[in-house]
Amino acid sequence: MNELLDNQKSIYECADQYYQTQNFLFLGRSFNYPTALEGALKLKEISYIHAEGYAAGEMKHGPLA
């Protein structure tokens, strides 16, 4: 908790950079794919903005490449 509180400045900088963004894409490969889906879901629930989780391997080449 103290480490998080010590990094408040970087958290505010990140928030300033993205606070007007309306769309977010979370990419995950292998066992991180469910993490990407969950991250997108949490962002949708908290902020009511568009967010999607997607498999990183399909992002560049598609499912049949």
pLDDT at 63: 62
Residue 15 located in a structural domain? no
Distances in Å between the Cα of 7 and the Cα atoms of 1, 18, 45 are: 10, 17, 25
Asked if residue 3 belongs to a domain, the reply is no
Closest residue by Cα to residue 59 from 39, 35, 41, 33: 33
User: What's the confidence (pLDDT) of residue 65?
Assistant: 57
16 in a structural domain? no
In a domain, 14, yes or no: no
Q: Residue 36: what pLDDT?
A: 98
Tell me, yes or no, whether 51 lies in a domain. yes
Residue 45 within a domain? yes
**Domain count across the chain:** 1
Are 22 and 49 a contacting pair, CB within 8 Å?
A: yes
- Predicted pLDDT at 60: 77
Q: Which two tokens stand for residue 36?
A: 């990407």
Q: What is the pLDDT along the chain (65 residues), one digit of tens a residue?
A: 888 888 889 989 999 999 999 999 999 999 999 999 999 999 999 999 999 999 998 887 766 55
Query: Is residue 34 domain-resident?
Result: yes
